Amino acid sequence: MLNRGVQVFSAKGQEAIDTALKADLVVLNTAVAGKWLDTVLKENVPRVLPKVLWWIHEMRGHYFKLDYVKHLPLVAGAMIDSHVTAEYWKNRTQERLRIKMPETYVVHLGNSKELMEVAEDSVAKRVLREHVRESLGVRNEDLLFAIINSVSRGKGQDLFLRSFYESLQLIQEKKLQVPTMHAVIVGSDMTAQTKFESELRNFVVLKKIQDRVHFVNKTLTVAPYLAAIDARGECFGRITIEAMAFQLPVLGTAAGGTTEIVVNGTTGLLHPIGKEGITPLAKNIVKLATHVERRLTMGKRGYKRVKEMFLEHHMAHRIAAVLKEVRTKLRSPSLSDPFKSH
């Protein structure tokens, strides 16, 4: 950031307060950043709120606390990653907290240039694919399904594993001819294994699929695993468009921002959220396992969709439009539509 002329300093202390007071616009990143307002700005909060653009990514229930978001009605605007999430925040804040959302702008994320360079480099992808598969003990001809997200309750790893096991049962019952299938869960914490992860590992042992399921430590570098797998299970947001950049079909839930990214039957297959989705996801895994051409075609269409809508420059353009609109509104306040899409 320093190389791009962006100043970086501590979020605490007088320098942070002075900067917020002098700034024309303050972008507050994530819902939990709401605590920063009271903790750091203290009595200066009312002076800063009218020029805050609040960028919210979260969609889980425990973020809907007044401690975090009580100042939402008083900020210049909110920027959220999907239309579904924006509607969710509007309804939840009204019903649960009795507060009103400010004017809300929807900005879809975009893949970085660095990730796209790897995704479009066939040699790099082949090397990464071979390396990761060798480390997991997975052959090149085997099928590898993955879920990439920090392992924690509510993130869907348990449902994914149940679906994967059920898909193996379906294949065995119907005597289908498919390559050996594996599942990889990227997002473990090998240093402090949680109770939830222990439950996942116990399920794998109980079902005797230890040779088919692989746990990988959490990492910020997901490209090697995207290069190594054949399809990706549900995980909201940026990882979905990253998988599509690697020409992978996406198996996602018909909920949240996923529905605005994945075109069901075209770039991937969607299933119901929660336990109701276990069997449909298992069947979708079998569909992809038994139809090579379908996997490849969905992957190519997903890549095309990323190139058309979800690149870094698309995201930059959308954010710039929001910043321009909010700044204009701050200079000359006027009424506008409650939900804007950019």
Q: How many helices (H) and strands (E) does the chain have?
A: 15, 11
What does the H/E/C string look like for 153-218? CCCCHHHHHHHHHHHHHHHHHHCCCCCCEEEEEEEECCCCCCHHHHHHHHHHHHCCCCCCEEEEEC
pTM: 0.90
Average per-residue pLDDT for the chain: 92
Domain ranges of the chain: 2-109+312-341, 113-309
Q: Could you tell me what percentage of the chain is helix, strand and coil, using 3-state DSSP and rounding each to the nearest 5?
A: 55, 15, 30
Could you tell me how far CA 154 lies from the centroid of its own chain? 14
What percent of the chain shows pLDDT beyond 70? 96
Residue 235 confidence (pLDDT): 39
CA separation, residue 281 to residues 97, 108, 192, 204, 271 (Å): 35, 25, 30, 18, 6
Token readout for 287 is 């569909």
Residue 234 confidence (pLDDT): 46
Q: Are strands 339-341 and 104-106 parallel, antiparallel or unpaired?
A: parallel
User: Nearest-5° angle of CA 247, CA 253, CA 256?
Assistant: 100
Residue 131 confidence (pLDDT): 96
Residue 233 confidence (pLDDT): 58
Architecture, CATH, for domain 113-309: 3-Layer(aba) Sandwich (3.40)
- pLDDT tens for the chain, 342 residues long, are 788 888 898 999 999 999 999 999 999 999 999 999 999 999 999 999 999 999 998 877 777 889 899 999 999 999 999 999 899 999 999 998 999 999 999 999 999 999 999 999 999 999 999 999 999 999 999 999 999 988 998 889 999 999 999 999 999 999 999 999 999 999 998 788 799 999 999 999 999 999 999 999 998 889 999 999 987 754 347 899 999 999 999 999 998 889 999 999 999 999 999 999 999 999 999 999 999 999 999 999 999 999 999 999 999 999 999 999 999 999 875 544 445 566
